[in-house]
Chain A
Amino acid sequence: MSTMIETKDLSYTYPGGEGTAATLALDGVTLSIARGSFVVVLGHNGSGKSTFAKTLNAVLLPGGGTVWVDGMDTKNEALLLEIRRRVGMVFQNPDNQIVANVVEEDVAFAPENLGVPTAEIRQRVDDALEAVGMTEFTLHAPHLLSGGQKQRIAIAGVLAMLPECIVLDEATAMLDPMGRREVLNVIEGLHREKDVTVVLITHHMNEAEHADRVIVMDDGHVAMDGTPREVFSRAEELRALGLAVPDTVALLRELKANGLDVPTDAITVSDCADAIMDAMKQHA
């Protein structure tokens, strides 16, 4: 598998203002994200995960080290548009990333900026809205939609650039459980059907269930890196980093501690249920 994004010794320092010291948000992060993978980046507040996300499409330029997107150095200003087209970014607050007051106009914003011909913009807008299941809202006003719907519009707005990678910077943090589910379903669908590389930044452990890979960040470093099973089996380490394991893993661990012989690495709800069923059958 080829590499989508690669970082080497990446560091970033937020300059201190009056009376505040400069803070080192990223400190020597070396990672490689494979094309077509689904990576979840976890970490508590201030772990540097959001800063990491913002360096991936040159919103922030590395203070030290290098970031390559598809082999292009993000510090190269001549490649800026090409880098941002390839790596689309969805942010936390849906209200603050919607530009136009009609849904279709908003989705068309990026292709308009890229100088795509009118007929093709139409096609891309229709495709993107279909991909996020918002076709019936094409002519609606975004401010009347729910949080989950707004966030799906924001994803469609990014999709219209035909990106190869989508970075979601805590894109579900402000949503209710239903809105969060909607957005995650859309993201999982895009990854499965369109082969889009997904980097999902979050602090909800349960969102890691469909990931190929989980990266845990702490204090600007990569603290853990592996498949969800590997990472969540190290519950004590996670707790030391201020994180909890997903509810499913927590339940299985409790059961095991109380004498039921279950595996503790089933992350999705259905896997977890199966594991408990098997254990109970054996028990009986």
Chain B
Amino acid sequence: MLKDITLGQYFPGDTLAHRLDPRTKLLAVVCYIVAIFSCHTLWAYGTMALTLAVAARISKVSARALFRGLRPVLFIITFTAVLNLFYTPGETLWTWWVLRVTREGLYTALAMVTRITLLITGTFLLTYTTSPIRLTDGLESLLAPLKKLRVPVHELAMMMSIALRFIPTLIEETDKIMSAQKARGADFESGGLIRRAKALIPLLVPLFISAFRRADELATAMECRCYHGGEGRTKLHVLHFAARDYAVLAFYIVLAAAIVALG
């Protein structure tokens, strides 16, 4: 069950999308999101869908992998679609018992489903083509101006990368604790929701204790390797914008501007 957790799954590759600077991709996603929320016409949605399809094609990410990312939000999508479909006032198309579908409702529901689908798959494309480390590096570099406002940007980026580093370790540990508890008769699989939630307590307590101990040891080890915050820190991999980054970025800015103005 724990093997399924894929937070920000990354597919290694060597395509144009993989080689782009993470900052370019982050900014492009921001433009993409702005554009999606400004879509009002069929043309605009069509353009965005085409952009996504081309980007996915370039990244060599299969449509199946792309839509798999939608599975966890399927419920939200259906829920929004149903609500919009039945509860939007307007010209009646079809009625049955208390249910009434309107023309406006149908349009809004379709628009919402398209919008959420494009939004999720688009952002998934970012994590599919960018390793977590490059993503954090990109975020740290983009948010660097906030340091002047005393926002602990470096610390946040460091926390994020350490969290990513420890996910597999903690999952492994959870598996171990679960096996140990099962060997002593614990039951994680039967019973209702509350019963199952309660069964997790003897799992979470040791997990938390060990996570704190790990954190303590890691902090000492980091200090021993001369960690003293972000000040004066250099990098093994320095980010730099290449011509392709400017081109991609220009394309997305124009796209967002055009959709905001015309869509």
Interface residues of A (CB under 8 A from B): 57, 59, 81, 84-85, 88-89, 91, 93, 95-102, 104-105, 108-118, 121-122, 125, 141-143, 157-158, 161
Contact = CB atoms under 8 A, between A and B. Distances in A.
A136 to B, nearest CB: 17
Contacts of A113: 225-228, 233
A100 B226 CA distance: 15
A105 B169 CA distance: 17
Contacts of B168: 141, 143
Contact of B221 (A91, A112, A143): A91
B224 A89 contact: yes
Contacts of A84: 223-226
Interface string B150-183: 0000000000011011001100100000000000
28 contacts: A59-B220, A59-B223, A81-B228, A84-B225, A91-B217, A91-B220, A96-B218, A99-B218, A99-B225, A100-B133, A100-B161, A101-B161, A101-B165, A102-B131, A102-B133, A105-B236, A110-B225, A112-B233, A112-B234, A113-B227, A118-B234, A118-B235, A118-B236, A122-B236, A142-B165, A143-B168, A158-B224, A158-B225
A84 B228 CA distance: 12
A118 B224 contact: no
Contacts of B235: 112, 118, 121
A283 to B, nearest CB: 53
Contacts of B222: 99, 109
Given A59-B220, A59-B223, A109-B225, A95 B169 contact: yes
B185 interface: no
Contacts of A81: 226, 228
A158 to B, nearest CB: 7
Contacts of B214: 93, 95-96
B72 interface: no
B22 to A, nearest CB: 14
Given A98-B165, A142-B165, 14 more contacts: A81-B228, A89-B221, A91-B221, A93-B214, A97-B221, A101-B133, A108-B236, A110-B225, A110-B226, A115-B232, A121-B235, A141-B168, A157-B225, A158-B224
Interface residues of B, number: 29
B98 interface: no
Chain B interface SS verdict (over half): helix
Contacts, number: 94
Contacts of B226: 81, 84-85, 110, 113-114, 161
A115 B133 contact: no
A98 B234 CA distance: 18
Of the listed residues A93, A97, A98, A141, the one surrounded by the most CB atoms of chain B closer than 10 A to its CB is: A97
Interface string B237-251: 110000000000000
A158 B226 CA distance: 10
A121 B217 contact: no
Interface of B: 131-133, 161-162, 164-165, 168-169, 172, 214, 217-218, 220-228, 232-238
A105 B133 contact: yes
A85 B131 CA distance: 30
B220 to A, nearest CB: 6
A112 B154 CA distance: 13
Q: What 8 pairs across the A-B complex have the smallest Cβ distances? A: A97-B221, A108-B236, A96-B217, A110-B225, A113-B226, A143-B168, A115-B232, A89-B224
A115 B234 contact: yes
Contact of B234 (A116, A157, A158, A161): A116
Chain A CB count within 10 A is highest, among B162, B214, B218, B226, for B226
Contacts of A59: 220, 223-224
Given A81-B226, A105-B133, A113-B226, A96 B236 contact: no
Given A100-B161, A101-B133, A118-B235, A109 B224 contact: no
A100 B222 CA distance: 11
